[in-house]
Amino acid sequence: MTGEGEVTGGGASPPGLVDRVARGLAIFGGLFMLAAAIMVTTSVVLRWLFKSGVKGDFEMVQIATAVAVFAFLPLCQLKRGNVFVDTFTLRTPGWLNRGLDRLWDVLYAAFALLIGWRLIVGGIDAIASRTSSMVLAIPIGWAILATGLMAFVLAAVTLVSAQRLSREPS
């Protein structure tokens, strides 16, 4: 996957495929979180009014949050929004900082691939064993598979962000 352009805009070339996928996943994750917030609000109001909330609300929130977090990670990476510690690199030259950032991007991609692979294996196992949530019996394997696929997208995005850093002027 190649991704020309930047998500942040500002006169850069038009967003590439990676940028559009990352933005689309973030919107998808936001919609998941919005649905979870509406469901929690409804459950709280129902508990207040009728002493009984939405059955299994915590299960739906857990699943929605897990999926949303993985949906947000690619855009966060493209915008360089992950937490970093620059205690030792504050006074180092820009070329060295970009080199270190590229190194960490590649390592992040490797870990995202590892996590994605294990999530896919776990999702397939959960589907095969019909693992489901306790109260509502929601099959959780599909959510696990989705997070695994999003981890692969994250790996691709981290490699694109490393490539973009190498194009920046020294």
HEC profile of 40-98: HHHHHHHHHHHCCCCCCHHHHHHHHHHHHHHHHHHHHHHCCCCCCCCCCCCCCCHHHHH
With cut-offs at 50, 70 and 90, classify the pLDDT of residue 14: low
pLDDT at 5: 47
Give residue-wise pLDDT tens across range 124-150.
999 999 999 999 999 999 999 999 999
Whose CA is closest to 36, among 11, 78, 65?
65
* Pair of tokens at residue 48: 């207040």
For 57-95, the pLDDT digits (tens) are 999 999 999 999 999 999 999 998 887 766 677 788 888
CA nearest 68: which of 34, 42, 44? 34
pTM: 0.84
Residues 6+ apart with CB under 8 A from 13: 4, 5
What's the whole-number average pLDDT of the chain?
88
Mapped onto helix, strand or coil, the DSSP state of residue 14 is coil
In the predicted model, is pLDDT for residue 4 greater than 60?
Answer: no
